[in-house]
Chain A
Amino acid sequence: MPPIAKHWPRFALRFLPGLYVVILFLAPLLMVLRVSFYAGGGQSGYGLGSGGFYKPGTWTITNYTTLWHDGYFHDILKFTVELGIGVSFLSVLIGYALAYFIYRMPPRLKPFGYFLVLLPKLTNILVIIYGLKLILSNAGPVNHLLMSLNWVQDPVELSNNLVGVTIGLTYLIVPYVVLVMLAAFSKLDENLIGAARGLGASALNAFWEVTWPQSLPALSLASLMALIWGLGAFMCPYLLGSPDQITLAVEVQRQTFENINWPRGAATAVSMFLALGLCTVVFFGLSRLALRQRGQLR
């Protein structure tokens, strides 16, 4: 009996995850890729319908060329990258501090800390975002507070602009950063802080010399995750942002479902994939380099 037949459960087990990736990830990607090269009207399903795939005359690169020469596209790309980097930086800053704070909480209170941070994740994301819209609106509690304290005379625009988007995105990304950093902190040997203190280090010194360096690998991971999330932002820019400040993801949605220009939408999606993928890889490479220099790459 050939080996495959004899050990078929083992092969099946190894084959199944691959099948999962192919069906749910690669196949759609390839389909989008095909659509992005489509020329003509939408009759043959943009190249995906029966017989339409190899139909000569339906292949073109003009979708890409017009896109990449379009200044509007450049603006969106620029904004997406800036927003992504800015939001991930802010999220990591807040998330790290929050995680450390929770880590140092007395054991009785720690579960509450965890709970408060994870609470946003227990609720539907749309509910959160619409909730934020209300809170940040001109008649909402934040403006109410600012005006009653007389810090401002007129309501401050906190929604439908960059501020709203930033607040929303940060709010959604921070819990993940906190989780990653808390996992890293909990693996630290507590004796190390004690050893540092016993050798004359103040609490601040002990943090800087002992805790901080050891948290760097986890920090790099958390930053990468935040960056990926921030670059791919869709819901917050779409719902909390102003219409003339949109990200690539929103643009894909607009082209595909509002303009019904699937080829262009697909081309935008592929371009987004490439551009943001490049950013991520560059960031990943840089952080690995930095860690290796410190000798902290395992």
Chain B
Amino acid sequence: MKASFGKATEANRAQVRSAVQALEAKELVKSFPGQARKAVDHVSFGLAKGTFFCLLGPSGCGKTTLLRMIGGYHGIDAGQISVMGRDLTTAPPEKRNMGMVFQNYALFPHKTARENVAFGLRMRRVTRRTALARADDMLTRMGLTDDEQGRLPRRLSGGQQQRVALARALVVEPDLLLLDEPMANLDRRLREQLRTELKSIQRRTGITAILVTHDQEEALTLADKVGVMENGRLLQLDKPEIVYRRPTNAFVASFLGDANILGIEGFTDQQMSLEGGLTLAFEGPPPAFHKGRLVLRPEDFQLGRSAEDCPTIWRGHIENTSFAGADRILDVTLGQNLRLKVKCRMDTDMALDSEGYIGLGLKRERPWILETAS
């Protein structure tokens, strides 16, 4: 098996292009009084027009704060924001031409759905009649009937309210669409449905969108680019596949999907020694480092019969099996205290050997190295 080593890249760099970026953020910093660490800690990135960007991270990582800073709802302690080349660092929200969808939608309770959507237009000096007509148009395209459009928000379902909130943000044709966990309050079915709709609307209008979420599945399915945040820092910004397959550190690796992170202890001829006495075969010149950590995803393993053809085979004991639709998820222990999460298809022949162990083969050619140390 060939194994060469990908290098862990540094935390993001802005993608420099000659065209004007839809959004350019430089060294943004924000602290809140009474809190030791910064809420947003020197975050920089750029977005090309038409990108669907997902800010992903656990609660308290600063993603919502960052979004609100972009929208103008929080002041910026340091750094710069420019949209379409215009510096908006000190501009108030009403001068930024952005559409924001709040987590609880923030629909005006005393105005009908139509009036809600027309609001932004009226603030831009569009006549009441035209504004209402355009609102009607937009809402019809979102699938709301005439009767529903004339209702107050409290008489609409969660999904309908979300559509109204989205319509209200889009109808003014903003430079940026900002979404703060807009689907957090909906059930799974509705969430998936709205996700698809949101993506197709974004594609159709070509608008640049920034969506904040803690749901990694949402981020991976919706985004053109994913940015993972932790403790105010932007750890990695890249295409979803890259962030998944080549995470820059252990946190990113374990935040997206399941990750088996193993310590590298040394190298001998054509073999990598890992913790727990495991060895991994590799080909090629010996690397420049001696210790580090690598990540293996559950789907990287071959089980049972198909493991036999792999250059690296480990033997483990199945502790637990879970059924996940088309796949089976297994908790496997290797040796004394190594636990791995392994995934295989339902129809895999899991032949156990005479001692009750299962063979785990590594089909992957390059285990992804997370970090190295000499």
CA distance A201 to B100 in the complex (A): 13
Counting CB contacts under 8 A, is A144 at the interface? no
CA distance A180 to B102 in the complex (A): 29
Counting CB contacts under 8 A, is A213 at the interface? yes
Q: Taking the nearest CB of chain B, how far is it from the CB of A190, in angstroms?
A: 9
Given the known inter-chain contacts A194-B93, A205-B123, A209-B119, please indicate yes or no for A199 contacting B168, CB distance below 8 A.
yes
Residues of the A chain whose Cβ atoms lie less than 8 Å from the Cβ of B107:
195
CA distance A196 to B123 in the complex (A): 9
Are B106 and A189 closer than 8 Å at their CB atoms? yes
Counting CB contacts under 8 A, is A200 at the interface? yes
Count B-side interface residues using an 8 Å CB cutoff.
Answer: 24
Are A295 and B123 closer than 8 Å at their CB atoms? no
CA distance A195 to B71 in the complex (A): 10
Are A198 and B108 closer than 8 Å at their CB atoms? no
Contact residues of A between 209 and 226, Cβ < 8 Å to B: 209-210, 213-214
CA distance A146 to B172 in the complex (A): 55
CA distance A194 to B102 in the complex (A): 10
Are B100 and A202 closer than 8 Å at their CB atoms? no
Counting CB contacts under 8 A, is A192 at the interface? yes
Count A-side interface residues using an 8 Å CB cutoff.
Answer: 20
Are A194 and B120 closer than 8 Å at their CB atoms? no
Given the known inter-chain contacts A205-B123, A209-B119, A214-B110, please indicate yes or no for A198 contacting B104, CB distance below 8 A.
no
Are B109 and A214 closer than 8 Å at their CB atoms? yes
Please give me the residue from chain A that is nearest to B115 by CB atom. A209
Are B94 and A201 closer than 8 Å at their CB atoms? yes
Counting CB contacts under 8 A, is A294 at the interface? yes
Residues of the B chain whose Cβ atoms lie less than 8 Å from the Cβ of A191:
102, 104, 106
Are A197 and B120 closer than 8 Å at their CB atoms? no
Are B110 and A199 closer than 8 Å at their CB atoms? no
Most buried by B among A195, A197, A295: A195
Please provide the 4 A-B residue pairs with the shortest distance between their CB atoms, ordered closest to farther: A200-B123, A199-B120, A191-B106, A195-B106
Q: Which residues of B contact A (CB under 8 A)?
A: 71-73, 92-94, 96, 98-100, 102, 104, 106-110, 119-120, 123-124, 152, 168, 172
Q: Which residues of A contact B (CB under 8 A)?
A: 189, 191-192, 194-202, 205, 209-210, 213-214, 294-296
Apart from A191-B106, A199-B172, 20 more pairs, CB < 8 Å: A191-B102, A191-B104, A194-B100, A195-B100, A195-B108, A196-B119, A196-B123, A197-B72, A197-B73, A197-B94, A198-B71, A198-B94, A198-B96, A198-B99, A199-B119, A200-B124, A200-B172, A214-B109, A214-B110, A294-B110
